[in-house]
Amino acid sequence: MTAGADVLKAALWMSGAIASFTSMAVAGRAISFELDTFEIMMYRSFVGICIVMSVALATGKLGQVRRDNLGLHLIRNLFHFTGQNLWFYAITVIPLAQVFALEFTSPLWVVVLSPLLLGERITPVRATAALIGFIGILIVARPGAAPLEFGQAAAAMAAIGFACTAIFTRKLTKRESIISILVYLTVMQAVFGVVCAGYDGDIALPSMQSAPWLVLIGCAGLLAHFCLTTALSLAPASVVMPIDFTRLPIVAVVGMLVYGEVIDIWVAIGALVIFAGNYLNIWGETRR
Q: For 119-145, write each residue's pLDDT tens digit.
A: 778 888 888 988 998 898 888 877 656
Residue 146 amino acid letter: A
Residue 8 has pLDDT above 60, yes or no: yes
Question: Would you place residue 27 in the very low, low, confident or very high pLDDT band (cuts 50, 70, 90)?
Answer: very high
Q: 281 or 22, which is more confident?
A: 22
The whole-number pLDDT of residue 288 equals 60
Question: Would you place residue 228 in the very low, low, confident or very high pLDDT band (cuts 50, 70, 90)?
Answer: confident
The whole-number pLDDT of residue 144 equals 58
| Residue-wise burial string across 90-107, b where 16 or more C-beta atoms lie within 10 A, e elsewhere | bbbbbbbbbbbbbbbbbb
The whole-number pLDDT of residue 66 equals 87
Closest to 51 (Cα-Cα) out of 176, 214, 165 = 214
CA 279 – CA 269 distance, rounded (Å): 15
The whole-number pLDDT of residue 107 equals 83
The whole-number pLDDT of residue 143 equals 64
Percent of all residues in the chain with a pLDDT value above 90, rounded to a whole number: 34
**pLDDT digits over 233-263, tens only?**
787 766 776 778 888 888 988 999 988 988 8
CA 271 – CA 56 distance, rounded (Å): 38
Q: What is the pTM of this model?
A: 0.87
CB contact at 8 A, 88 and 31: no
Q: 114 or 52, which is more confident?
A: 52
Stretch 103-109: mean pLDDT: 87
